[in-house]
Amino acid sequence: MRSHRRSRLLAPLLLLPLMSGCFASGGGSNSGSGAKDGDGSRLRVALAFPPAENLSPYGADATLLSRLGVTEGLTALDANGSAAPALAESWRRDGEKTWEFTLRDATFQDGTEVTPAAVADSLTHATEAEPVPAALSGVTITAKADGDRTLRVTTTEPDPVLPLRLSSPSLAVLSAKAYGKSGRVDPVGTATGPFEITKVNGATSATLDRFDEYWGGRAQAAGVDARFIADGTARANALRTGELDIAEAVPVAQAATLEKDTRRDTATTRTTSLLLNTSKGTFKDAGLRAAARAAVDTSVLAEDVYEGYADPGAGIYGPAVTWAEGKRTEPVGRAAAGRAAGDTVTLATYDNRPELPEVAQVVKQQLEKAGFKVKLTVREYSRLESDALEGKFDAFVLARNTLLDTGDPVAVLASDYTCDGGFNIAQLCDKDADRAVAEAEKTADSGERQDAAMAAEARVLGSDAVVPLVHQRIITGVAAGVQGVILDPYERTLVGTGTRR
């Protein structure tokens, strides 16, 4: 039986260009209350997704933690998509299977020192997690301390993108206190970022205070008051009425209601796709998958639903991945389109991203015009994910940042479209696609790896398991006077040491 475990994404030798430039946005000044020790106001931030897994760093909540400036890993991603120093100040490759990382002087939020032994312990816990973090899908690592400042990480097979992989939010480094006997991982007061969680109110809100001993310098804001507001209109309204300083993922329909200088749109590597269940039901038939793909008009979605804040779907990787278009080839192995004869299919999506229900409604209409009967289900994401991963729907509309987990374009193919992929909502198990992905995974040269990724993309697209719909621009609401908001194409970070009001 195939695994359905959830997978929620090198040094300078492997550059994966996305876009150049700085992520931060500027602004003026704004008064606020709640300053800590008279030094900096608190930030009021609304996030679209509430904690779904008790703030576990190994699942969907990993990005929530990194966006709030709580957690970080050995490495980070820079504006070009390359591995950059974080808790590791440098690294080098020692043979085909081992990398050596030199740690910087840093302190955990519980006051203990970040040592090679502590980092090795944290990474070991990640390798033992169930489900395995997406960044470790198909990879086995062993981490060991080697002296006072050196960590050695060994892989069972050569891994040319290991430093890039270790930038994943799901591989955040936590202190020993985070790992209790219950098996639950607790990031409260055990991380290394500029902000420390001090209180969590279930799935409603969280309070964060500045971590004054942060190795990168004290944050300019005294803390963060985070609210989890799934309703996009409510997030936009709260920003407009002055209740918030930052609102992530403002719905396209609400953008025009905000003053021009309070909204930022950022090209991201997020692609919204229609995933078709290849293992059972109507879309087990490749001809009917081809018919569904032919029925979808992506230009309507980009122009009408997203009102110009998106581009029509071109592939798994969109325009923000600047090298992809010049390397893209035609899909390989597509079946001839069959004819739908009243086949009933279940189509599902979630409403945390407000455009998705509208996208799903348009797709429903297009499929019905092609002869399918469609039952649409819309829920909050945390109440939908497990059913999607278990293949309980015939089709699923998903917004996925294709470079989120590791920054490596091959990783999303391995996790989402291979037989053993942990985030394989399409339930795809195709020998040719698996072979192409495996070939890409072992390719070290950056240009050749990109070529191999596009060859694998052509195989996956040829299966019609995925129909790319649109490539999104994300709208972030930023109140007047708020400065230093991090507009990250990878959507890993939002607030940092320079974010303030």
Check residue 230 and report its DSSP letter. Answer: -
Q: Within a domain: residue 280? A: yes
Confidence category of residue 308, pLDDT binned at 50, 70, 90: confident
pLDDT band of 490, cuts 50, 70, 90: confident
The DSSP bridge partners found for residue 98 are 154
The contacts of residue 368 (CB under 8 Å, 6+ apart) are: 374
Cα(196)–Cα(207) distance, integer angstroms:
8
CA dihedral 110, 115, 116, 118 (to 10 degrees): -20
pLDDT tens track for 402-419: 887 788 889 899 989 999
Contacts of 106-109 with CB under 8 Å at 24 or more apart are 106/192, 106/215, 107/192, 107/213, 107/215, 108/174, 108/175, 108/177, 108/190, 108/191, 108/192, 109/175, 109/189, 109/190, 109/191, 109/192, 109/193, 109/196, 109/211, 109/213
What is the rounded CA–CA span in Å between residue 72 and residue 140?
Answer: 21
Strands 373-379 and 344-350: parallel
User: Which pLDDT value is given to residue 365?
Assistant: 97
Residue 198 within any structural domain of the chain: no
Residue pair 76/215 in contact (Cβ under 8 Å)? The answer is no
pLDDT at 21 over 50: no
- For residue 419, how many other CB atoms are within 10 A of its CB? 15
In a domain, 16, yes or no: no
pLDDT at residue 445, as a whole number = 82
Which of 396-400, 441-445, 461-465 is the least confident region?
441-445
Tokens coding 150 = 């050196």
Question: What integer pLDDT is reported at residue 80 of this predicted model?
Answer: 72
Is 106 within the bounds of a domain?
no
Rounded Cα distance between 486 and 119, Å, is: 26
Residue 310 lies in a domain: yes
Which structural domain, as residue segments, surrounds residue 278?
A: 268-473
- Cβ neighbours around 431 below 10 Å, total: 9
Domain of residue 335, CATH code: 3.10.105.10
In 370-473, alpha helices (H): 385-389, 409-417, 431-441, 446-462
AA identity, residue 95: G
In this structure, is residue 298 part of a structural domain?
A: yes
Q: According to the model, what pLDDT value does residue 208 have?
A: 98
Residue of 454, 399, 375, 464 lying closest to 426 (CA atoms) = 464
**Tokens standing for residue 222:** 């005294």
pTM over 0.85: no
Distance CA 373, CA 316 (A): 27
Q: How confident is the model at residue 39 (pLDDT cuts 50, 70, 90)?
A: low
Q: Which helix (H) or strand (E) holds 292?
A: helix 286-295
pLDDT tens column, 155-210 = 999 998 899 999 999 999 999 999 987 778 999 999 999 999 999 999 999 999 99
The pLDDT of residue 353: 86
Task: Please give the average per-residue pLDDT across 321-336, as a whole number.
Answer: 91
Residue position matching structure tokens 């992929």:
421
Query: How far is 339 from 374, CA to CA, in rounded Å?
Result: 15
* pLDDT tens track for 366-386: 999 999 999 999 999 989 999
User: Would you state the pLDDT for residue 33?
Assistant: 36
356 contact partners, CB below 8 Å, separation of at least 6: 272, 349, 350, 397, 399
45 and 227 Cβ atoms separated by less than 8 Å: yes
Quote the tokens at residue 41.
Answer: 């106001």
- Radius of gyration, CA atoms only, the chain: 22
Question: DSSP 3-state assignment of 93?
Answer: strand
Q: How far is CA 44 from CA 36, 72, 126, 474, in A?
A: 14, 21, 31, 19
Instruction: Assess whether pLDDT exceeds 90 at residue 128.
Output: yes
Map residue 363 onto helix, strand or coil: helix
Q: How many domains does the chain contain in total?
A: 1
Residue 24 is predicted with a pLDDT of 35
Burial 276-303 (b: 16+ CB within 10 A, else e): bbbeebbbeebbbbbbbbebbebebbbe
Closest CA to 151 of 201, 102, 200, 109: 102
Mean pLDDT for 105-114 is: 98
Higher pLDDT, 291 or 266: 291
Return the SS3 of 370. Answer: coil
Q: Are 79 and 279 in contact (CB under 8 A)?
A: no
Which amino acid belongs to residue 29?
S
Query: What's the rounded Cα separation, in Å, for the pair 383 and 447?
Result: 40
**Lowest-pLDDT range of 153-157, 333-337, 446-450:** 446-450
Q: What are phi and psi of 47, to 5 degrees?
A: -110, 150
- Domain assignment of residue 167, yes or no: no
pLDDT in tens, 452-469: 999 999 999 999 999 999
Q: Is residue 299 part of a domain?
A: yes
